Amino acid sequence: MSPDPTDPPSTSSPIVPVLEARGLSKSFAENTVLRSVDLDLLPGRVVCLIGPSGSGKTTVLRSLNGLETPDGGTISAAGAGLEIDFSRPVTNASRNRLRDLSAMVFQQHNLFPHLTVLENVTEGPLRVQKRPRAEVLDEAHALLSRVGLAEKSGAFPAELSGGQQQRVGIVRALALRPQLLLFDEPTSALDPELVGEVLSVMKGLADEGWTMVVVTHELAFARDVADEVLFLDGGVVLERGAPSEIFTAPTEERTRRFLERLM
Ligand code: ADP
């Protein structure tokens, strides 16, 4: 097919990264947990962070959405006109803008037990973002249908299975209309038979073009869905690359040993 002459040439619209992190470092007292971590997030890309427990994966994720403040390095989001240099004091305004870029899905779903599924999903968009009620409700119902939970909108979290609760957690994140989705081991607290339904929702989001950072021990998921895999060890990105490289021909001995234990 010949190109449509009304399409802009691709060179005239360079791809603007959703987020770029450079040289992130972080210590807790004497414990250095991140050492110069770089991470690039182009639109629609999925980056998986893997590595042993305590290697700094969660701290990277929390730094990306302002829950943790690195001691050094920068995070920029060119599309949002945001640039934060952590070697200087970070203003609340910058931190809030960084928070607004992304939504996080936690290991434990963190749903409010006293609110229904629908109320959990609409709480942020209505109370924090102050968006119009009718629009928020329509969107919430559509998102719940999409993850197979249309019938559960009036249920309370305790009435749902762990996998259903986590799917609500994902919908709650989507309802905020973030530019970036952050997942912190979203399936590690689930019974094994419930893991698949959550991973399949996440794969669907990746296929739809969401930009995602996923901390996970689910290597099959990372292999299948990630555009880039970062292996962290002792706060350092020891190795990074396409899943086909990292999983089949890791160059570092420590990556190899880590993968052998899990695969
Ligand atoms: P991972 O996600 O790879 O398991 P984390 O980022 O959770 O690793 O933790 C990295 C290191 O930072 C660990 O040694 C952990 O004990 C330490 N750490 C994380 N958060 C804190 C905190 N709030 N205070 C002190 N130490 C912390």
Mutate to test the pocket of ligand 1, among 28, 60, 238 (most ligand atoms within 8 A of CB): 28
The ipTM of this complex is 0.98
Average the pLDDT over 161-183 and give the result: 96
Mutate to test the pocket of ligand 1, among 26, 49, 50, 59 (most ligand atoms within 8 A of CB): 59
| 3-state secondary structure (DSSP) of residue 16 | coil
Helices within the chain (DSSP H only): 57-64, 92-101, 117-123, 133-146, 162-174, 192-208, 219-225, 243-248, 253-262
Spacing, Cα 85 to ligand 1 middle (Å):
22
* Average per-residue pLDDT for the chain: 93
- DSSP readout, 110-143? ---TTS-HHHHHHHIIIIIS---HHHHHHHHHHH
Contact 94, 69 (CB under 8 A): no
Q: What is the pLDDT of residue 10?
A: 53
H or E stretch at 37: strand 31-41
How does pLDDT run across 143-162, given as a tens digit for each residue?
999 999 999 999 999 999 99
Instruction: Look at residues 73, 60, 79 and name the one whose alpha carbon lies nearest to residue 182.
Output: 60
How does pLDDT run across 181-229, given as a tens digit for each residue?
999 999 999 999 999 999 999 999 999 999 999 999 999 999 999 999 9
Ligand 1 pocket residues where CB is under 6 Å: 28, 31, 33, 51, 53-59
Kind of pairing between the strands at 102-105 and 82-85: unpaired
Closest protein CA for atom 18 of ligand 1: 28
Q: Which atom of ligand 1 is nearest to the CA of 51?
A: 3
C-beta pairs of 94-97 under 8 Å, 24+ apart in sequence: 95/66, 95/69, 96/66
Residue type, 132: P
Q: What is the rounded CA–CA span in Å between residue 78 and residue 242?
A: 24
Residue 231 vs residue 6, higher pLDDT: 231
* Cα-based distances in Å from 204 to 48, 64, 197, 242: 16, 23, 11, 20
Q: What is the rounded CA–CA span in Å between residue 219 and residue 70?
A: 28
Q: What is the pLDDT of residue 33?
A: 97
How does pLDDT run across 68-93, given as a tens digit for each residue?
999 999 999 998 899 999 999 999 99
Q: What is the rounded CA–CA span in Å between residue 118 and residue 201?
A: 18
